[in-house]
Chains A and B, each alone.
Chain A
Amino acid sequence: MQVPLSWLKDYVDVDLPIEELARVMTMAGMEVEAIQVVGLPMPEGEKHEFKISGLSWPEDKFVVAQINEVLPHPDADRLILCKLDDGQGERTVLTGAPNLYEYKGTGPLDKPLKVAYARLGSVLYDGHKPGWELTKLKKARIRGVVSDSMVCSEKELGISEEHEGVIILDDDAPTGMPLAEYMGDVVYTFEVLPNMVRDACIVGVAREIAAVLDKPLRQPQLTVPVTGPSVEGQAFIEITDPNLNPRFVLGLVKNVEARPSPYWVQRRLRLAGTRPINSIIDATNYCMLEVNEPLHSFDYDVLVKRAGGKAPTIITRSANPGESLVTLDDVEHKLEPYTILVTDTAGALSLAGIMGGLESEVTPETNNVLLEAANWNFINVRKTMKADHLSSEAGYRFSRDLHPELAPKGVRLGLDRIALWSGGEIAEGLVDVYPKPYEDPVVEITGEYVERSLGIHIPIEMIVELLTRLEFECRVEGQTIFVKSPDHRTDIGRGVIGKADVLEEVARLYGFDNIPASRIADELPPQRRNESLEREERLRDVLARLGLQEIITYRFTTPEAEERLVPPDVKLPPVDYVRLANPIAADRTVLRRTLLNQMLEVVERNVRQRPHLALFEVGAVFLPIEGELLPAEPRRLALAMTGQRFLPAWDQNLKGEMDFFDLKGVVESMLAELHIEDVTYAPGEHTSFHPGKCANVWRGDVLLGTFGELHPLVKERFDLEKAPVLAAELDVEALLRQMPMRFETVPVPVYPPVLEDLAVVVDEATPAAAVLDVIRKAGGKLLEGVFLFDIFRGPQIGAGKKSLAYSLIYRSPDKTLSDKDTKKLRKKVIYMLEKELDAKLRS
């Protein structure tokens, strides 16, 4: 919505500084997005709360002037010389404005042309360059004629992009008056809130400002006397469904003549963002911008002809199957049953509330205008606009629900403006069919309700006074105020909703900033922990502590992207995704089922940035469930590591690429830090991982997740370096469920440990975990710790064998162990290893 200040001032007296008015509008719910200064002095200072642009017209440089005679240029056909009076004397000005050609060489003008005149040294926009480039008027000689000033176009003055010719001002413009004083303006642009469509017009904005500033609002007045015969019998209305079309109003004006509107009308329309067309169309647009009711003008004679020479009947109905209509913009629309049509006995005329049809549109030749204002079901209008991607000023308003009372108001003003600017006689009366009157809600509120909601006591009289300023009708009975919504808005509901709606208006006018802040006095709710979040955050901390960097990735992906997680020759059964009906990009069509793909994409992106990468992500995946509307959203944990094990320093450079056991170390430490004990690792089968370098993590029969080195064929599908890529995906729900509510500590030992090394030779196929198991079992309680410190293979121990070297720590909680004690333990360990695993002690 663009609001020219000069127009606003027709309805309310405001003389606030430019930015102060923007602040008032903003604090009333009309958040000003931009201020365009058109001629008036620019606000000073560095700090501007609002985005301000535009051009000022200094009083000594820009004035109203009158052209007394237009002469041809002696040497150039396309240039003319204007003899003009700028209030200080006669000047000759060179111009090429095509709209002055018609006066060339016609001698002194009977009626001087009033123009916007810029003197030497003026700064204005260059009309010949695209965009908005400032230029300074200098003295120049063009084809032998000296030029040091100019007659301006709208573009040069920053009013609009119009540069077809110079501005011809209205005849009553006072010669010599500073231009800024005559027509300087400011345009405020703001976005109309969805519930404030009443402010999509200048009177609406003025009403809000008047209410805030406590000033009177002047309503637009009718100016042309009604002289024509009654409209009765000249047109008929037939509404088939009052729910779709609660009201329809027609007025008639005859013997009009479409011409250019007065300049001030054109300027206002342009400043408000509408292109002037001719005095009839401009009048309908002007009234819509003024009071919000979109008007539609039919060529009356076309309708009569369509009705076979009789008075036309306007019929409103929903579209029939297969029906179509060509709109003003020459586009054919296939219509759906929810579309409401304005038709006559010969067929469709326009898309109700959105756009007129081509045939019955007024033209420059139109003599008689039948003017329509109606009220439409906003949902149907919205549906049609959405489905057909239509947008129009009328549709914008009707799709936000206008009050039916605006229709007769709009038609009367429209007829008046048409007659004012296009001539003609207004027919007496209106054809007004109103089968579904809108009942303005009456809401009951009390001072106590206002106080309980806002936290501040506002006296009843003040509440009434604030609401009255917005034209609510208030009646007080005891402690209750009966508040009737005014007939220009439909956003006030009924019952308890209406109360909240009215409360909002009280708070808004009272000023949110005037309501004192308080701390919640109400009782605290019962305390509930959020264990899932607490544990998840703990998991994040543990992983960060273990040296991993957290990432958060897109939850969008494609099935094809996730297919990269298996080797190309492996075909997995198809899986179901949460699919987007309206994906925004080809690579974001579904929600992910795994974190691994995005994890690897992030590794891809970073692998050349850092010699050592260790990343994790905790987040949801989305798994559709057969027969359920909504998918499961379990959380997963992904880990990835690749690159050098150690960070290089200037005095050391320990080489070594991370492998399976670096990742396993992280998994082990993570589980230990979460106090998840008795975890087992077993060879895993997972298509993403190397079949020999993949493990499942189990706790009892609960699978916590799988990790391993990326399968070489999977790795090839990503742009990665040579180093192995280790990755894991774990089930966060399962993992965090295993976290104990509490854990116990053991006392710090008092007696010294006995340390001992033990190397055993076993078959290559014997897993280290089995050896460890036997040692633990044999060592019993006195065996405090076992650490594998070396693995050896070689001819000394024979082919197909490996030697595992362990450090054992024996300790008793009650005494210092003797040599005899440890010897006995050692013997038992060795015996058990031999017995269970056929292991040989390596000497």
Chain B
Amino acid sequence: MPEQDITQNQEELLEKLQQQLSEVRQTGLDLLRTLQDEEGLQQWRSNFLMRRAVITEIMRNLSNLPPEMRPVIGQAANKVKKELEARLKERFAEVKQAALTHSLNSERLDVTLPGRKPQHGGLHPETEVLREIYQIFAEMGFQVYRSRDVETDEYNFELLNIPAHHPARDMWDTFFTTKEGVVLRTHTSPGQIRVMREFAPDPIRVILPGMCYRYEQISARSEIQFHQVELLVVGRNITFGDLKGTLNDFVRRLFGREVRTRLRPNHFPFTEPSAEMDVECFICGGEGCPVCKRSGWLEILGCGMVHPTVLKNGGYDPEVYSGFAAGMGPERINMLRHKIEDIRYFWANDVRFLEQF
């Protein structure tokens, strides 16, 4: 082939390639402008920049060109490629932004539609309040001691300083069983004797939770079975002041830090002195409301120093040891705190009630 032809061919080739590059550039940029989504841009990238793209083809075949042409075409192709890449990157950003803007502007949920409810269970409100009581006392060093529901008359009454035909027996309306001397416990106090006999002569700091039973007409205010939580402390230096302090700490944690308390003298055969603790109504702050029957006070628990006879029956010498005991009704605490007006709700187990906790 003559030299000139070669040169001419080379120039034609050069022109053709440049022309090709310029066309690719133009088509590419034109097309790029029209693309509106990421999928299109990915497709465009594969058409214009990837393996089968014209530019890639040109660059791959560079080695087939005359040596002097290679840098020229190489640089030109590279420039177009860089430009396309840069524009693609910009376009990506633009499309992403547009999509974002679109999404933010157009996707509008009716946020007032109800959510899909996950299935879940729950604990009975009595379990919840019992645990709260356990927890508070646990932090004060009290452990839980449970004992049986069906008791002997001896443990339920006699050993607690409530002999047969004693006036104090009138305080309990008892369920008797057909077995002589066997009753349903009327309080968790038999556990006091059991725990003392088990642990003597160690010091004792326990709470005694459990179901108790009383022969009463069922009404909105009274039930034949109910929970009770008692506490019992026995040691060598337990005082009435300790009783006050412990109960104050407890009710303040349960009802609020500032709540005031007072002790009214009362009588329980197994404690002496005996008292009833009232807390300032936490609903009205002591101003008087229907819950506290306008008195400003709520009756919360009975308490007292353990009676010497009870200490002795438990295996502790009353000349050496002293102790205090207290008892409360978790249902009452629940009722006060959650405005439950009918105690029968607790064992009726209507899910419409239980699910509210």
Contact = CB atoms under 8 A, between A and B. Distances in A.
| Residue in A517, A615, A646 whose Cβ sees the most chain B Cβ within 10 Å | A517
A575 interface: no
A550 B267 contact: no
Contacts of B224: 554, 556, 584, 588
A616 B182 CA distance: 30
Interface stretch (A45-53, A252-260, A287-295, A811-819): A45-53
A644 B221 CA distance: 36
A537 B146 CA distance: 14
Contact of A609 (B176, B263, B351): B351
A605 B349 contact: yes
Interface in B103-149: 113-114, 116-117, 119-124, 126-127, 131, 141, 143-146, 148-149
B263 A454 contact: no
Interface stretch (A274-282, A377-385, A715-723): A377-385
Interface residues of B, number: 99
A679 B263 CA distance: 55
Given A630-B148, A633-B149, A582 B176 contact: yes
Interface string A526-546: 111110110001001101111
B167 A518 contact: no
Interface string B166-180: 111011000111110
Interface stretch (B14-22, B50-58, B290-298): B290-298
Contacts of B123: 540-541, 544, 550
A650 B113 contact: yes
A499 B308 contact: yes
A520 B241 CA distance: 8
Nearest to B217: A584
Contacts of A614: 119, 121
B308 A47 contact: no
A652 B308 CA distance: 68
B75 to A, nearest CB: 47
Best-surrounded residue of B184, B239, B307 (most CB of chain A within 10 A): B239
Nearest to B145: A530
Nearest to A536: B146
Interface string B239-269: 1111011101100000000000011111101
B187 to A, nearest CB: 15
B332 to A, nearest CB: 16
A612 B119 contact: yes
A223 to B, nearest CB: 34
A545 B114 CA distance: 23
* A545, A549, A553, A647: residue with the most chain B Cβ atoms closer than 10 Å: A549
Contact of B242 (A520, A529, A533, A581): A520
B223 to A, nearest CB: 9
Contacts of B179: 629
Contact of B144 (A533, A550, A582): A533
Contact of B272 (A27, A501, A518, A588): A501
Interface in A1-41: 26-29, 31
Contact of B126 (A529, A552, A622): A552
B177 A581 contact: yes
Contacts of A579: 177-178
A517 B294 contact: no
Contacts of B202: 525-526
A550 B127 contact: yes
Which of B167, B203, B211, B235 has most A Cβ within 10 Å? Answer: B167
Nearest to A631: B150
A613 interface: yes
A452 B205 contact: no
A605 to B, nearest CB: 7
B322 A545 contact: no
B244 A544 contact: no
A105 interface: no
Judged by DSSP, the binding face of B is: mixed
B339 interface: no
A212 B265 CA distance: 13
B294 A48 contact: yes
Given A497-B309, A524-B203, A525-B205, A543 B265 contact: no
B254 to A, nearest CB: 16
Nearest to B151: A630
A519 interface: yes
B122 A522 contact: no
Given A500-B308, A503-B273, A549-B355, A455 B242 contact: yes
Contacts of B350: 605-606, 609
Given A47-B294, A527-B143, A517 B244 contact: yes
B235 A522 contact: yes
A453 B307 CA distance: 12
A655 to B, nearest CB: 15
Given A27-B264, A544-B123, A399 B349 contact: no
Contacts of A521: 237, 242
B242 to A, nearest CB: 5
Interface stretch (A161-169, A506-514, A747-755): A506-514
A616 B354 CA distance: 12
B349 A194 contact: no
Interface string B262-296: 11111101001111100000000001100001111
Contact of A525 (B199, B237, B246, B262): B199
A327 to B, nearest CB: 21
Which residue of A193, A383, A540 has the most chain B CB atoms within 10 A of its CB atom? A193
Given A519-B242, A554-B347, A513 B263 contact: yes
Nearest to B204: A525
A382 B169 CA distance: 11
B224 to A, nearest CB: 6
Interface string A624-643: 00000111010000000000
Interface in A547-595: 547-556, 578-585, 588, 591
A601 to B, nearest CB: 9
A455 B239 contact: yes
A609 B239 contact: no
B165 A383 contact: yes
A518 B152 contact: no
Contacts of B121: 543-550, 614, 616
B241 A497 contact: no
Contacts of B233: 520, 522
Nearest to B120: A547
B272 A503 contact: yes
A715 to B, nearest CB: 19
Contact of A507 (B178, B211, B273): B273
B352 interface: yes
Contact of B318 (A496, A504, A515, A523): A496
B146 A582 contact: no
Nearest to A550: B124
A29 B268 CA distance: 12
Nearest to A27: B264
B236 interface: yes
A49 B238 contact: no
Q: Which 7 pairs across A and B sit closest by C-beta, in order of nearness?
A: A455-B241, A455-B239, A522-B235, A29-B265, A47-B288, A512-B263, A517-B244
10 contacts: A194-B168, A456-B241, A512-B262, A520-B246, A544-B121, A550-B123, A581-B175, A584-B224, A609-B352, A647-B117
Interface of A: 26-29, 31, 46-51, 193-197, 378-379, 382-383, 399-401, 452-456, 496-497, 499-501, 503-504, 507-508, 512-513, 515-530, 532-533, 537, 540-541, 543-556, 578-585, 588, 591, 602, 605-606, 609-610, 612-616, 620, 622, 629-631, 633, 646-647, 649-650, 652
Given A504-B265, A606-B350, A646-B119, 4 more contacts: A454-B241, A516-B244, A520-B235, A552-B349
Interface of B: 113-114, 116-117, 119-124, 126-127, 131, 141, 143-146, 148-152, 165-168, 170-171, 175-179, 181-182, 184, 199, 202-205, 211, 215-218, 224-225, 233, 235-242, 244-246, 248-249, 262-267, 269, 272-276, 287-288, 293-297, 305, 307-309, 312, 318-319, 322, 346-352, 354-355
